[in-house]
Structure 1
């Protein structure tokens, strides 16, 4: 049987991944590091032509806001996981689960609606990575 501590550390690692990717998106979306992601986005929304300069500036700004939000959300998650979740305070598990579900439903709906199907796979992966420790520790919060 895997211990509560293992799942808490797992969820803390997920928080770290979210922070890391948020910072990468916010600070490096213009760089060669982002070429695959930008190719997927550009091919979905501007097939053949690519975005013009004003759209590129808007996209850079939007990625900055998205990345900052992700990094902030990941940091908040890390504090909750390291504190009240670790003390098995039920509200912390409920807050994490509600936030993850709300994010997943809206983000995935918008990804499907706009044809950004590549993002649906990423969403499912994050849902599994964040949801698994919540499910595996469910009995600890009764």
Structure 2
């Protein structure tokens, strides 16, 4: 791995750690999560609280489930990044790319079709965090090394 590839690999580790951290925040900080998404979608940190206690409880459940799935997905991606991707395994690089595309397209499409463009912007930010290092590592994984 040359210095540019090492930098990209470290960015990939950081992006993956960020994904895992975001997932955990959704689980362990439900009040903060509600305020954050309320601010993102409605430009008011308290707007979701106007939905009533049952709706707020359900939204918190959905955030926690989403966060748990994100954390688990991130754990698998971290395993790939720390081992096979670091060794230059082309299949591991593709696993990253395919899993990100498989998340990004339906999530972003639904967000846009349902009028929640703010979530699509959030998705684009996450996708960019991964696209930069994965693009930088593409030449490194051209030849199978694992």
Q: TM-score interval w.r.t. the shorter chain?
A: 0.7 to 0.9
Q: Residue 26 of structure 2 aligns with which residue?
A: 25
Q: Specify whether residues 54 and 11 from structure 1 end up closer, same or farther in structure 2 by C-alpha distance, changes over 3 A only.
A: same
Once the two structures are superposed, residues 2-52 of structure 1 have per-residue CA deviations (whole angstroms, 9 ceiling, x without a partner) of: 521111110000011011111111111224x65232234467xxx798312
Q: Residue 133 of structure 1 aligns with which residue?
A: 133
Q: Residue 52 of structure 1 aligns with which residue?
A: 52
Q: Specify whether residues 97 and 49 from structure 1 end up closer, same or farther in structure 2 by C-alpha distance, changes over 3 A only.
A: closer
Contact 1:22 1:69 in 2 (8 A): yes
Q: Specify whether residues 49 and 55 from structure 1 end up closer, same or farther in structure 2 by C-alpha distance, changes over 3 A only.
A: closer
Q: Specify whether residues 49 and 76 from structure 1 end up closer, same or farther in structure 2 by C-alpha distance, changes over 3 A only.
A: closer
Q: TM-score, normalised by structure 1?
A: 0.87
Q: Residue 83 of structure 1 aligns with which residue?
A: 83
Contact 2:80 2:92 in 1 (8 A): yes
How many residue pairs end up in the alignment? Answer: 139
RMSD: 2.3
Q: How far apart in 2 are the matches of 1:56 and 1:42?
A: 15
Q: Specify whether residues 53 and 78 from structure 1 end up closer, same or farther in structure 2 by C-alpha distance, changes over 3 A only.
A: same
Contact 1:42 1:50 in 2 (8 A): no
Any stretches of 5+ residues in structure 1 without a counterpart? Answer: none
Q: How far apart in 1 are the matches of 2:17 and 2:67?
A: 13
